[in-house]
Structure 1
Amino acid sequence: MGRFNLRRIMDKQAQVVMVSSTAIALYGYDQGMMSLINTNYSYLSTMGIDEESPVVGLIVSVYYLGCAVGAVLASRFADAKGRKPGIFACLATASLGNLLMFVAGFGVATTQHAALATMMIGRIIMGLGVGGIDAVVPVYSSELQEDDARGTALAQEFQANIFGLNMAFITNVVITQTLGKWNQWAWRVPIIVMQVYPILLFTGANLLPETPRWCVLHGDNERAKRSIRRVFGPDEVDDRITELVRAHKKEEEEGMATYADMLWPGGLQFHPTVVTVMGQVNQALTGYGAVSVYGPQIFELLGFGVTTAEYITLGNYLFYFAMMTVAWVLIDRVGRRKLMINGAFWLAVSFALLTILGGLAYNRRKLHIPLLATGVPGIVVLYLATSVFGVGWLVPPWLIPTEIYPSTARAQGAAISVIVWGLANFAVTLLTPIGFNNLEFYLFLVFAATNAFAGLWTYLYCPESGHRTFEENQDFFKEAAERGSWIVSRVRDGELQKLPAAEVEDEEGVEVEVAEGDQDRRRKKERRRKVQKKLDAHDETVPLLGRTST
């Protein structure tokens, strides 16, 4: 047992997942942190606003504007200086923003306007850091994982995102119940506790290498070999460095991608950028960003009291965390596309049911309906919607941009993903409290319609990117351009079942045609077989984190 645990800790791919998980937990912590701070009377008084003021949503949402800008700055920095230095710079920025939020309105001489301004600035600066982390970490993680384990790794990392959300919410509940909603430390302590994440990350990231792809991109093949040796083992060095150099030469012929190439119609990377943009837009349209930030208010809308709603929300977040295990079990087995399509369908159904239940709860006294008759089904439906979102929509929109671009555009693609995520969530979190105040339970019907749209768009235009090399995924877009259609079903169902063939010699020296993708998959399968044979010889088990069985 001791040998297994030691091996698991020392495995570099497992360490990549653990460090990346801790980084992504920052975003989850912020969501859980603000959901109860928004209802703290001391906080509202310090900022000079009331609970139903649009400024409450504005304070939450400006964070996402910071994320959008931070994604651009961090991706450029990470491309120039390295993925690891990019992560460190983002952590320092997020930590500074968090400190400003903590001291906002501190001291009797501080005015409400100064407190509000400090909180806004802190939210924006923290957004710069977290947005940068969300842009760089998925790229860093995907470049250090096997092709058939990228989804599992990122899903495990996003499970940590939900851990952060739970940690913040539990901290909030415990301190609020202990100190009360009029105590300033009931909202300041949950803010400063977030500093534990940068401290852990500054320590853990030092254990990891730079990604081999970035090293090859910058002409440092020797450093790339050292990284491969540390992460994948000495037996992998020759094959992997050959593949990376070959891919890089091919990308060099096409030149470095610019944002104009990605955002201008007709640009070489415009098609994958549209897929990236719509993935994040559709994730925002699922409505679950609003559910995670304004969970207590939703359960109040279903008829529960404030304290009861907070405890039910905590149960929802814990259920969310548990169900993320299903996500990382399925995402590399079922695929990204199928999870998103099915997820959008069931979310549409869930929000349609919540519209009915919300309407009954709103008219409960008039119709003489007991609370449990609407409240309990509402809890069940919202818990199920939470699990569906976690399994189907939390991870794929972040994962796909790290898989469909060449190395010359991958960081920019991840940045665009975060920018769109930031702007879309800025709009959703800003408009949600306004929607609750004006549309009430009909807001659920809006989300039912937007989920239907998200599912239809994904079915038509989003290709499967799992169990493919980066180069195979790029071939899909080339074939789509040749066929003049973006509809997935017209481009070999987005499955890339047949790739351009290359002549190779079989064991008897006879030249045969084998698809380039098949060659890659055969080499990787053979490498995994060798590794498994060595492990079996020592009667050990492959570590779970960062791996999938073959």
Structure 2
Amino acid sequence: MPFPPSQPEDSHDIRPIISKKHEIVLFSSTAIALYGYDQGMMSLVNTNRSYLRTMQIAETSPMVGIIVSIYYLGCTVGAVVASFWADKKGRKPSIFACLATCMVGNILMFVAGLSTNGSDTWGGAALAFMLAGRVILGLGVGGIDAVIPIYSSELSKDEARGRALAQEFQMNIFGLLMAFAINLGVTIALGKDNQWAWRIPIVVMQIFPILLISIMGRLPETPRWLIRKERKRDARKALVALHGESKAEDMLDELHRAQEEESDEKIRYMDMLVPGGSQFHPSMVTVMGQINQALTGYGAVSVYGPQIFELLGFGVREAEYVTLGNYISYFFMMTVAWMSIDVLGRRKLMVWGSLGLASCFALLTVFGGLSLDVRRAPVLVVEILGSVTLFVATAIFGICWLATVWLIPTEIYPSGARAQGSAISVIIWGLANFTITLLTPIGFNNLKYWLFLVFAVTNTFAGWWTWRYSPETGGRSFEENQEFFLSAQDDKSWVVKKVDAGKFLRMPREEDGEGGKATSDENAPLLASNS
């Protein structure tokens, strides 16, 4: 037996080193690190001269942004296909298919233009292979982003939903940091004219899907999906593996009751995306959350970090070193994110985060202008102040925006709309980041440091929209969050302060008799742990 079943939690035999629950958390964390790695991977590939010659493009060509951004179009398609497959055939088969797709796309990127001389264009086919690889990789990663949240939420419970998700997203930043560090290391060792300086970081990405596929056999299918498919015996086995023999029967009965009580009404995408549909309002909260996150500009910072520091006056190599330092800071500052998200709430973090980012980008506009247009400006002072400002902006984004917009959809949709809601979130994330990463290099080439001012304006809009229309969903059960959308219908307004007397402007308070009730299966966290 290649993957022997682990001992149940209440077994008197020797227990495994880590529990099945922790295996699921590690699996989810590694999956999240996968798409973080891709963001960091392309940042230095874009500036490798061998890569540019092989693709037959200039560093200032719009094709640089197209190669990066077309990946996100693949993500949008992959999210829809994988969500459908996850409902039809199961969460695990869908995840396996997505991981296999990632491997194919990554290989196509790695072999594009591969030759002994290091810059063979393959008669123009190298660019075609790279574009195809980016799209196929996007199909896989988009599917993973849609299905992993469903898989994890159906296997885990934790009242600290925000903390659990923010901890998992810290691994996203670890993937970003790992990719950039490998990229920088091989670039320093081999130089920007060596093809292996850009091929090695690409092929290293294979570690993630290989590792995930190798441990999938140890993990159970979700009991909720098995119950929906009337596979009671398999559902019981999964519950025993997760919670032990003594708890399995009670939990199985609970899942049966939940399935019987659940509405038979099928929720379609039309119900979620067409005005007047039963889930249109929560879908617009989800859609605008992802759009506003893209408008913060941090998809661009993740992919084009070195170029941004160059706008502040750094040389190429110095900009790469400072970018690495920024990513290290980013990773550690995510600790503050999971310590604060369930204390301060999602809404407050996003609103204040947008104001902080707008201020930082306004300052960066000034520093960029001093660096490039004012000859007598003290270069070192501008570089230091600009770097500190960008480090602060990165920390603000990680704490306030990175995890929150992925968490909110898991708290506002009923189980019948969970898969579609997750897919919509990934689709909008993909389309929004496609637009931002496509336009950013064009902005660098034409606007220079004025691009920072654009991001200051877009952050101001993101903060205003969130303050006006996004309810506070933290600390409340699924049923309590549904009250907001029902009250919005009764009050004929989506403005948070006008709905239910402004009840959803803030986290629930104990003195109001609210809070502490977020225990229903319906509001299970996106990616939870028992730590």
Distance in 1, matches of 2:37 and 2:311, equals 24
Distance in 1, matches of 2:104 and 2:91, equals 20
Distance in 1, matches of 2:15 and 2:456, equals 47
Distance in 2, matches of 1:520 and 1:242, equals 20
Q: Which moved more, 1:15-24 or 1:457-466?
A: 457-466
> Following superposition of structure 1 onto structure 2, how do residues 293-304 of structure 1 map, counting pairs within 5 Å?
293-304=303-314
Distance of aligned partners of 1:453 and 1:69 in 2 relative to their CA distance in 1, 3 Å threshold: same
> Following superposition of structure 1 onto structure 2, how do residues 121-132 of structure 1 map, counting pairs within 5 Å?
121-132=132-143
- The DSSP-based 3-state class of the residue aligned with 2:330 is helix
Distance of aligned partners of 1:129 and 1:27 in 2 relative to their CA distance in 1, 3 Å threshold: same
Is 2:113 the counterpart of 1:135? no
How far 1:233 sits from its partner (Å)?
4.2
2:25 paired residue number: 17
Unpaired stretches in structure 1, ≥5 consecutive residues: 1-5, 499-513, 525-544
Identity level (%): 61
Q: Which moved more, 1:257-266 or 1:110-119?
A: 110-119
Whether the 8 Å contact between 1:340 and 1:455 is mirrored in structure 2 is: yes
Q: Which amino acid aligns with 2:127?
A: L
Q: In structure 2, which of residues 372, 391, 409 is the aligned counterpart of residue 362 of structure 1?
A: 372
2:530 paired residue number: 547
User: How high is the TM-score relative to the length of structure 2?
Assistant: 0.90
Is 2:140 the counterpart of 1:153? no
Q: Which moved more, 1:338-347 or 1:94-103?
A: 338-347
1:229 paired residue number: 240
Q: Which amino acid aligns with 2:130?
A: M
Whether the 8 Å contact between 2:159 and 2:518 is mirrored in structure 1 is: no
1:82 paired residue number: 90
How far 1:408 sits from its partner (Å)?
1.5
Is 2:446 the counterpart of 1:463? no
Q: Which amino acid aligns with 1:422?
A: G
Whether the 8 Å contact between 1:87 and 1:132 is mirrored in structure 2 is: yes
How far 1:43 sits from its partner (Å)?
0.1
- The DSSP-based 3-state class of the residue aligned with 2:262 is helix
Whether the 8 Å contact between 2:105 and 2:132 is mirrored in structure 1 is: yes
Figure out how many residues of one structure are paired with residues of the other and give that number.
Answer: 504
Q: In structure 1, which of residues 1, 15, 32 is the aligned counterpart of residue 40 of structure 2?
A: 32
2:104 paired residue number: 96
Distance in 2, matches of 1:77 and 1:169, equals 33
- The DSSP-based 3-state class of the residue aligned with 2:183 is helix
Distance in 2, matches of 1:496 and 1:248, equals 30
Is 2:467 the counterpart of 1:482? no
How far 1:440 sits from its partner (Å)?
1.1
Over the residues paired in the alignment, what is the CA RMSD in angstroms?
A: 2.4
Q: What do the CA deviations read for 1:329-377 (whole angstroms, capped 9, x no partner)?
A: 2222322222212211111111111111111111232xx1121121101
Distance in 2, matches of 1:382 and 1:294, equals 13
Distance in 1, matches of 2:486 and 2:230, equals 26
Distance in 2, matches of 1:208 and 1:471, equals 30
Distance in 1, matches of 2:402 and 2:389, equals 18
Is 2:56 the counterpart of 1:48? yes
Q: Which amino acid aligns with 1:356?
A: V
1:260 paired residue number: 270
2:7 paired residue number: none
Distance of aligned partners of 1:12 and 1:304 in 2 relative to their CA distance in 1, 3 Å threshold: same
Q: Which moved more, 1:127-136 or 1:464-473?
A: 464-473
Distance of aligned partners of 1:147 and 1:188 in 2 relative to their CA distance in 1, 3 Å threshold: same
How far 1:171 sits from its partner (Å)?
0.8
1:111 paired residue number: 122
Distance of aligned partners of 1:480 and 1:214 in 2 relative to their CA distance in 1, 3 Å threshold: farther
Distance of aligned partners of 1:519 and 1:436 in 2 relative to their CA distance in 1, 3 Å threshold: closer
Distance in 1, matches of 2:483 and 2:246, equals 28
Unpaired stretches in structure 2, ≥5 consecutive residues: 1-13, 523-527
2:6 paired residue number: none
2:389 paired residue number: 381
2:301 paired residue number: 291
Q: In structure 1, which of residues 177, 187, 202 is the aligned counterpart of residue 198 of structure 2?
A: 187
Q: Which amino acid aligns with 2:341?
A: I
Q: In structure 1, which of residues 164, 174, 180 is the aligned counterpart of residue 185 of structure 2?
A: 174
Distance in 2, matches of 1:428 and 1:462, equals 22
1:398 paired residue number: 406
Whether the 8 Å contact between 1:48 and 1:112 is mirrored in structure 2 is: no
Distance in 2, matches of 1:521 and 1:124, equals 39
Q: What do the CA deviations read for 1:280-329 (whole angstroms, capped 9, x no partner)?
A: 00000000100110000000000000000000000001111111111122
How far 1:497 sits from its partner (Å)?
6.0
How far 1:245 sits from its partner (Å)?
3.6
Distance in 2, matches of 1:88 and 1:309, equals 38
How far 1:125 sits from its partner (Å)?
0.2
Distance of aligned partners of 1:272 and 1:247 in 2 relative to their CA distance in 1, 3 Å threshold: farther
User: How high is the TM-score relative to the length of structure 1?
Assistant: 0.87
Q: What do the CA deviations read for 1:417-471 (whole angstroms, capped 9, x no partner)?
A: 1111101000000000111111111111111111111111112221222333334
Q: What do the CA deviations read for 1:463-513 (whole angstroms, capped 9, x no partner)?
A: 222333334433432332233222222235226969xxxxxxxxxxxxxxx
Is 2:340 the counterpart of 1:330? yes
Distance of aligned partners of 1:289 and 1:139 in 2 relative to their CA distance in 1, 3 Å threshold: same
Q: Which amino acid aligns with 1:141?
A: S
Distance of aligned partners of 1:475 and 1:245 in 2 relative to their CA distance in 1, 3 Å threshold: farther
> Following superposition of structure 1 onto structure 2, how do residues 188-207 of structure 1 map, counting pairs within 5 Å?
188-207=199-218
Q: In structure 2, which of residues 316, 322, 334 is the aligned counterpart of residue 312 of structure 1?
A: 322
Q: Which amino acid aligns with 1:177?
A: I
How far 1:10 sits from its partner (Å)?
2.3
